[in-house]
Structures are given as structure tokens and as C-alpha cells.
Chains A and B, each alone.
Chain A
């Protein structure tokens, strides 16, 4: 008897909702839209966080810059000798990288010289990387190739720091699946890089430091700082945490801006639920006259709210998923990621977990359900005789 009764009430609710299709379709459409937007923001920020985490996972545990007058300076290679002697450090590697502004395409490229770190990602390449000491050859990212209309075997030139043109043969192009990292990248050999930017000997942009045990990274960083007070060690964990905070904060900000719209929707839902038509009132009156109790009407209204929420939730979340993972979140991406002339075209790796769905429900469904409580009570206390008398 117990379950049967609830099932019958649900059955009745579904039929009565179907009878009033048009009134409810409005609510469902708007609700779907609300869920779609909140869901897109959530999915997008989580998948950015995840992407950042996956990329940074392979980076060195510590990066050391040198600071001068509060500005980032070139690091002395002589630091390496001392750092490698700190217990726990497995490898120290100089890194040469920087940015190059190309006035022709009005874009910034990231220029990088060959090191072991790049070798690790070389499997992503079409063609090959320039050899360590190979002169005048380069591997470029897809974005650079697109902007300059060039392909493997072509040549292109960059203006070096002393004003002369340097010509490079393109020996490789990074493939699309790593675009987030490589779209604006130009990889050169070490000697070419130094000539291009006129970097003095015995210097590097920064030092990458690998440690055996990741939990010791903090201690190693402290020792580096004590030994070289002008240095600034940056931990990988710190970078990951910063990305997390930035994306969490950005999505929170967009969500907060969106709360006004959510409130408007709640008022709409409240209004719709309060404004019972004469027909509906009569229906409830008849139900009560044939023996339904106030609590049964309340249950019917509860099912009504649940059916509407879930009917909107499912398409809303599916649309958000498609929007973010198949169409690159074209509506919100500019607010959440950042921008640049050469921007990587990429498809985010789908990442969705129970927590995101629960948060989405808490933000959208709970306010909706709460807004219908008082209207459904008002409907449930309708007196049969008053309604039927007209």
C-alpha cells in the first residue's frame, strides 16, 4: 500500500503536468537555460584546473630565478655548482626561454631553446626537433605556422637583438593535441637562441631543479634561498595552487555576477507557482472533495517540483557538457581563460565528477524547490466547497 500510494500520486502529477504543457514548458525552458549556464561555468573551470595540473605535473619541482631590484634577472650558471651539492637535489638544468614580439603578425611568440625538458615532449612532434647544436633550424607550434602561413621545409626569419635577420629552416611542427602548450612556441638550438636575444655567456633565463623526494622540495627551496639571497625559488606545488585559486576565483566571480539572473528566475518560479488558474483550483478542490488530504496535495506539489527540476536538469547539464567539451565553451571562455593573438584552438579533456553535479544541484535546484514551498502549501489548503461553488 505504502509505495503504491506514492506511485499513484506521481502518476497523477505527471498526467496533470502534461495536461498543462504550455504553462510548464516556459518554466522548464528558463530553468534549463539557468542550469546550462551555471553548469558550463563549473565544467569549464574544473577542466581548466585539471588541464593546468596535467601540464604542470611533468614540470620540475623547483624553478629558480635571480632577482635584481625586485625584477626578474638572468640567472648565473655558476649557481648550479652549489645547488647540485644540496642534499636531495637530483638534477639542475639551465633553461633558456623568452618571448618574441613579431610586428608582422602582431603576436607574441614563446621562444625556447632545446633542453632535456623539451626532449621529453618531443613525441608530440610532426617532423623533428632541432639538434642541440644545429644552426638555423627551428620547430614551431601550429599557431605560429598558421599565423605565418608556413609548413615543414619552409624558411622564416626573426629579427635578432642587434637588428640583423636570422633565417630558420622549419624542421618540425607541434601537433594539435598539445596546442595548449605549444601553439605559440618556437624551439631553437641553444646557440641560436643566445644569438637571437644576445644573451651573455654564463647566463640562463632560469634554473630547473629536480629533487628525489617531492616532499623535500620546500626544504631544498629554503636552502637555495639561504645560499643565494638574490634568488627566488618557485615550487611546482605553489604554481598548481595558484592556478587552482585563479580558476576557482574566476568561476566564482562569474557565478556571483550570475546570481542576479538566478534570483530573477526564482521570482519567476514563485510567481508561476502562486498564480493558480481557476481550473487548477477547481481540480484541487475536486481532489479534496473525493478524499485527498492536504498532505496528499502537498506530496503532489512536491513531485511536481521534482519532475520540473529533473526535466530541466538533465538537458541543462547535457547542453553544458556539449557546450564546454565539444564547442570549446565559446560563450564563457574569454572570461575564464585569458586572451592573445595566437590563441590555441583546443578541445578540453572532459572531466566531470559527482561533486560538480552536486554543487550544480545545490546552486540551482535547491533555490527553486525552496521557492515553491509556500505556493504549494497555499494550493493545498484550498477548500473544496468554496472552489466548487465558484
Chain B
């Protein structure tokens, strides 16, 4: 392991996140076991106060987590100079078998803790905490994910060996190579483009439908189409979107667009994608809570608003990824 400043920052950060989530979960267990909304005992009052503590603990943990996703990618990018064969974050993440799993774990943690905060937000809207059981069960479910993430990250940093030659994006996302990266890179471009834009249309149509009348089939459809669109978007970034930014028909790396050379375009690209998808998926996720009569109104309003956020996110993402295809002279047709 190297004592690189970024690595120290990430290790301290993940320790803090783990501590916050663990203490929130411990409080959560106590609240779950003792909770009785009808009681007016001293204990119930103190538990109700503790719910505030739990929610700020998770909120802070999530904001640190978001920062750490970017810091992690940036650090991977920064240490590539130390590794033989690495030329960007892909190479560093590939340096041992923990790199990519750490990144995936970070993304999962991000989505799960964001949904916890969303549910918490709804729960606080109602007078008598109707979602409290679901909320704290989910919180206990977050613990192993965060634990796994910290363990993976630590293993990744401990096992980086500068003498092992790693393969970088040039080989990993090349069209001839083996492995998942290469098979994504070698997907035919035109069908992928068609899938991408038709799913985008489905997502937008569903989004508009939900924003007008947030009712059952549309809300679930919006969730499903958001999830599908997320997967197809990641594939599309590797298959064709990144090529237009690099202006190279052979360069498929999903990380290089985060670099200075490409004006950091990757940041707005990924942020709009992630937030749009998150809100789109949450719309269907909170649909079952409509059964609780106290929450019905709030959920209808929330679904309306979140579907708008999903549309905005997807549109910004689509605009950023389409802009170079339309505006720049580079073209992929003929390949």
C-alpha cells in the first residue's frame, strides 16, 4: 500500500462513514424494538428524539459517500502514474481484483442511502411515522453494504502492487479483447443507438404521464424504464457516446471523459444520469406506500415532483451525450 494523500483521505472517510452508519443502525435497532407510537412514556419520547439523530447521521454519511465516489475515481486517476501500464483510472482500478468491485459497491451504497433519505423524508411528512419499520429495516440492510465497501476499498489499496503490469482502457475496452468491457465496446453501434434513444423516449413518455397523473401502471413503468435506461446508458457510454467526446473511433473508456482534456464533461454527464435515474426509480418504489391513507396526498405530490426531476435529469444527460454527435464533425457511420 502506498501512503498517498488521496488514499489516506479515502480511508479516513470510509472509516467515518462506517462509524456513522453503524451508530445509526444501532439506534435503529433500539427504536425498532421499543417503538410504540401510542405510548406517551419517557422512553418513547426519547426514541422519537433519537429518530432525528439517526436521520442526520445517515444524511451526513450519504453526503460523504457522494464525495468519496468522485474522490475515489479521481485518486485512481491520480495514482495511475505509479502503475506500469496504467494510463487512467481504468488501469489503476484494474491493478488488482478489488478495484472495480469497490467502485460498484460505492455506487450501490450511494443509491441505497439516497433511497433511505427519500423514505425518511416521506416518513417525516406524516404525523405518526407510518414508515418507521421499513425505514429502520432498510437501515440495518445498509450496514453490510457499507461494511463490504470499506473492506473492499481497504483491500484494494493494500494490494496495489506497482510492479504488476495492468491493462488500461486501450486494451480493456478494445473491440478485439476478451471480457465484459471488450464485449460492450464491440457492440454494433447503430442498434445500440436505436435502443438508447427508444428507451429514452419510453422513459420520457412515462415520466410525463406520471407528472400528469401519478397512478399505478405508469409509476411502476417509470421505475422499470429508468433501471433499463441506466443499464443501456452505461453500455452506450462505452459503446458510442464516449467515442464522440474523444473523437476517436477506437477509444471506449468510460473514465477518461472525467479528465481535464475533455473539459470534465463526465461530471455533469454522470451526475445528471445518476440523479435522474434515482428519482425515476424512486417514483415506483414509493407507490406501495399509497395504501397508508395519511401519506396518500404527500406521495402523489412527491411522485409528481420526482417524475419531473427524472425527466430533467434524463434530458440533460441526453443533451450532453448527443451534443458532440450533432455539433462536432466526427462521425462513426461507416465503421
Interface of A toward B, CB cutoff 8 Å: 41-42, 45, 240-241, 244-245, 248-249, 251-253, 255-256, 259, 294-295, 298, 355, 358-359, 361-363, 366-367, 369-370, 373-374, 376-377, 380-381
Contacts and interface: CB of A to CB of B under 8 A. Distances in A.
Given A358-B71, A362-B9, A366-B16, A374 B3 contact: no
A377 B12 CA distance: 23
Contacts of A361: 67
A248 B82 contact: yes
- Name which of B19, B64, B71, B81 has the most chain A CB atoms within 10 A of its CB: B81
Given A370-B16, A373-B60, A380-B52, A252 B7 contact: yes
B262 interface: no
25 contacts: A245-B162, A248-B2, A248-B3, A248-B5, A248-B79, A249-B2, A249-B4, A252-B2, A252-B7, A252-B8, A255-B3, A298-B52, A358-B67, A359-B75, A362-B12, A362-B71, A363-B12, A366-B13, A366-B16, A366-B67, A370-B60, A373-B53, A377-B52, A381-B49, A381-B52
B82 A252 contact: no
B310 to A, nearest CB: 20
B5 A369 contact: no
A373 B57 contact: yes
Contacts of A253: 3
B134 interface: no
B56 interface: yes
Contacts of B10: 362
A16 B145 CA distance: 40
A9 B3 CA distance: 41
B70 interface: yes
Interface of B: 2-10, 12-13, 16, 19-20, 49, 52-53, 56-57, 60, 64, 67-68, 70-71, 74-75, 78-79, 81-82, 84, 124, 162
A370 B49 CA distance: 19
Nearest to A252: B3
Nearest to B23: A374
Given A366-B13, A373-B57, 19 more contacts: A241-B81, A245-B2, A248-B5, A255-B3, A256-B3, A256-B8, A298-B52, A355-B74, A358-B71, A359-B6, A362-B67, A363-B5, A366-B64, A370-B19, A373-B20, A373-B60, A376-B56, A377-B52, A381-B49
Nearest to B83: A241
Given A366-B13, A370-B16, A251 B81 contact: no
Contact of A358 (B16, B56, B74, B84): B74
A245 B12 contact: no
B16 A367 contact: yes
Contacts of A251: 3, 5
Contacts of B74: 355, 358
Contacts of B60: 369-370, 373
Nearest to A258: B8
A374 B16 CA distance: 13
A119 to B, nearest CB: 29
A374 B70 CA distance: 26
B160 to A, nearest CB: 11
A316 to B, nearest CB: 16
B61 to A, nearest CB: 9
B306 to A, nearest CB: 16
Contacts of B79: 248
Contacts of A298: 52, 56
A248 B19 CA distance: 28
Nearest to A362: B9
B49 A355 contact: no
Given A362-B12, A367-B16, A373-B20, A249 B81 contact: no
Given A245-B82, A249-B2, A373 B8 contact: no
A366 B8 contact: no
A42 B7 CA distance: 13
A244 B75 CA distance: 14
Contacts of A374: 53
A249 B57 contact: no
Contacts of A359: 5-6, 9, 71, 75
A18 B81 CA distance: 47
Q: Shortest 3 CB-CB distances between A and B: which pairs?
A: A252-B3, A362-B9, A377-B53
A233 to B, nearest CB: 15
A373 B7 CA distance: 24
A41 B68 CA distance: 21
Given A249-B2, A366-B16, A373-B60, A355 B78 contact: yes
- Name which of B3, B5, B9, B53 has the most chain A CB atoms within 10 A of its CB: B5
B12 A366 contact: yes
Contacts of A241: 81-82, 84, 162
Contacts of B6: 355, 359
Contacts of B12: 362-363, 366-367
A256 B49 CA distance: 38
Nearest to B79: A248
A373 B64 contact: no
B82 to A, nearest CB: 5
A281 to B, nearest CB: 16
A346 to B, nearest CB: 23
Nearest to B52: A294
Contacts of A377: 52-53, 56
A339 to B, nearest CB: 21
A363 B9 contact: yes
Contacts of B9: 359, 362-363
A262 B146 CA distance: 24
A381 B46 CA distance: 9
Nearest to B77: A355
